[in-house]
Structure 1
């Protein structure tokens, strides 16, 4: 896949690898995902800490990569903005997001497979892609 930036390729690889690991973790130990949601319900400090970390990662990714030039760049940029928004919501109004997280624990295997497939696609796109311009 051609993209405009080498950075897009490397970020696609990193995001893909993260999703692959999350997917494998969800398939190997779904009870851990439920336990994480239970911990978030019990610990406001953990929610703030997680929100801060996710927000910082999202802001950083958006600052270095907000490219809308080709499908892979759009995917990487969307994931970056999603991280920023998720972190902001965890900091400002975590209740609805945590409720959605609890609801989604009924579909852990499905989410894990989705993450694994998307991760493989992103990783391979980054690994085999070609940058036409070095931005």
Structure 2
């Protein structure tokens, strides 16, 4: 299995799990942003993890040769950028992101979209 397919499968599974988590615990997920703002060490550690994941994806995979490879690379860049923002500008970044209200209808639609995208990535990785 090629690196693109392996990363797409992992990202797909992550999206499916994350979408289910939002769907099942929308109020908890919505409150998580406030926790990251109120507890700087959690925001910093989250930033370090996102930076490491994004950097690792980009270190082993920086391809734009098809939609799947491009999407995997894009996820790497987004994770890296999220890590940089959480480390360097945690509070302003989280204040903006926390405006996304996950505990209402938008959260339901978003979570279903994330689950569907995860399914597409997982299916495409198996082809």
The alignment's TM-score, normalised by the length of structure 1, stands at 0.86
Moved over 3 A (4+): none
Contact 1:8–1:65 at 8 Å: present in 2 too? yes
Q: How far off its partner does 1:28 sit?
A: 1.1
Structure 1 residues 55-70: aligned runs within 5 Å: 55-70=51-66
* SS state at 2:74 partner: helix
Count of residue pairs the alignment pairs up: 124
Mark the runs of 5 or more structure 2 residues left unpaired by the alignment: none
Tell me the residue number matched to 2:87: 91
SS at match of 2:27: helix
User: What is the aligned partner in structure 1 of residue 119 from structure 2?
Assistant: 120
Q: Does 1:35 align with 2:31?
A: yes
Cα RMSD, aligned residues only: 1.3
TM-score by length of 2: 0.91
- Give deviations 1:64-96, integer Å, cap 9, x for gaps: 000111111000000011000100110011233
What SS is found at the alignment partner of 1:103? Answer: coil
Structure with max Cα Rg? 1
Structure 1, unaligned runs of 5 or more: 129-135
Q: Which has the higher contact order (CA 8 A, sep 6+)?
A: 1
Structure-1 residue corresponding to 2:97: 101
Establish whether residue 23 from structure 1 lines up as the match of residue 19 from structure 2.
Answer: yes
